Amino acid sequence: MIHHLRGRLIEKSPTHAVIECGGVGYFVHISLHTFSRLPDDESCMIYTHQVIREDAHQLFGFADDDERKVFIQLTSVSGVGAATGRMILSSLSPDEVRHAILAQDVSTIQAVKGIGAKTAQRIIVDLHDKIQKGDEVSFEKITVGGNSTKSEALSALSSLGFDKAKADKTLDKILMQEGEGIALEELIKRALKQL
């Protein structure tokens, strides 16, 4: 499995990118979301997911690990292939996909070209509990707030074994008291004292 590619961006289009790594050019299928976030300069890094079928080996690329996680979850649903997952992520951001699933908003998912009512309902039914249980809900709260310090602190605390929901609330409390300018190390230290 190829985890990511770091190299020279040779070609960039709304549907694919070609990245040269060590003299080898990798053709990577991308969503419009990733296309908009790829740099225009030559040096880039892209997260990947490899899909192997009888008739093809395809590499799908993502601007960040969050989008890749949503893609993998979407393609785990019966009837949702890699092309459909890419189409969904071209129409909706990862946060919008999660929000639609948690809100059980069939019409938002069905608005994506090629997604019918039954497929939209299947996506919601299959992924609702997985997204509720996973770290994606906490990540969604972070990205909406746009606080990268909080995001890094939450990631550090969860990797230390603390409950994400409890850590998220603790971090919010500290940030309300201290403001957004608090250093990452100080934020983590204060949270450790309160958890």
To the nearest whole number, what is the mean pLDDT of the chain?
85
pTM above 0.75, yes or no: no
Q: Following DSSP, what letter does each residue of 2-65 receive, concatenated?
A: --EEEEEEEEE-SSEEEEEETTEEEEEEE-HHHHHHS-SSSEEEEEEEEEE-SS-EEEEEESSH
Whether 173 contacts 189, CB under 8 Å: no
Per-residue confidence (pLDDT) for residue 30, from 0 to 100: 95
Per-residue confidence (pLDDT) for residue 137, from 0 to 100: 41
Cα–Cα dist 101/80, whole Å: 15
Per-residue confidence (pLDDT) for residue 138, from 0 to 100: 39
Using one digit for the tens of pLDDT, what is the confidence trace for 2-14? 999 999 999 998 8
Catalogue all structural domains in the chain, each as residue range(s) with its CATH number: 4-62 (2.40.50.140), 65-133 (1.10.150.20), 136-194 (1.10.8.10)
Using one digit for the tens of pLDDT, what is the confidence trace for 12-59? 988 899 999 999 999 999 998 899 888 877 899 999 999 998 898 999
**44 beta partners:** 7
Cα–Cα dist 151/157, whole Å: 10
More confident position, 137 or 50: 50
Q: How many CA atoms lie within 13 A of 138 on its CB side?
A: 23
Residue 131's contacts (CB-CB under 8 Å, 6 or more residues apart) are 73, 98, 101, 102, 137
Cα–Cα dist 39/18, whole Å: 13
Cα–Cα dist 163/153, whole Å: 13
